[in-house]
Amino acid sequence: MTAAFAPPCPRLSGSSTPTLALSSPRTWAAPRARSSPSSPRSRSRASSELLGVDVPLASDTVGSDAHAKVDALKDGQIVLLENVRFDKREDSKVDAEREELAKEYAKLADVFVSDGFGVVHRKQASVYDIAKLVPSAAGELVFRKIDSLSRATKNPERPYTVVLGGSKVSDKLGVIENLLDKADRLLIGGGMAPIPSCSLRGTRSELATRG
């Protein structure tokens, strides 16, 4: 059994191994989370259409329905678990709580493949802790992202324009600092757009923003 941290993708449908897909939409606390376009239910339907096979959704992550659907899997089949963020232990700051949940995840799979590039840095039960309990590996998408990022930062084609968005300003300051000497243009939007300028490496750098 392979546990993959990412929505099911076409290459999984041809696998001879049963596949368990974990999902983690950021809208877990919102009342509409269970029916939003990024919800596991929506992803289950989209995955079924894309793959041409049924991708059932378990109504929980480590409960009776998850175990029942995983136990019923045959070679080449896929099941998607409910949003892992519905369990408060998923991103708990208490190591023991996350590890407890990770052990429950580990009971559902023999191998863990992380294909969610945007979350691989997070210390969460379905990302960090489970990788210590079962054989784990980075997925193809992660390697493609790393390759793209390496080409964009080490030897970019010119002219090189970077569009940077997001709401976590503190996380982006280091990225901006790293890109100042590499990019020809740096366009900032999202939650950082209201910031007209910033001081990096002791040099005042005016950052153009577009509303």
Would the CA dihedral through 50, 54, 58, 64 be positive or negative? negative
Q: Which of 28-32, 66-70, 151-155, 161-165 has the lowest mean pLDDT?
A: 28-32
More confident call, 7 vs 56? 56
17 phi-psi bin (left φ>0, alpha ψ -120 to 50, beta other): beta
pLDDT at 25: 52
- pLDDT exceeds 60 at position 8: no
**Does residue 57 have a pLDDT over 50?**
yes
Helix (H, G, I), strand (E, B) or coil at 158: coil
Q: Each residue of 124-141: pLDDT tens digit? A: 999 999 999 999 998 888
pLDDT higher at 37 or 161: 161
Average pLDDT over residues 95-122: 92
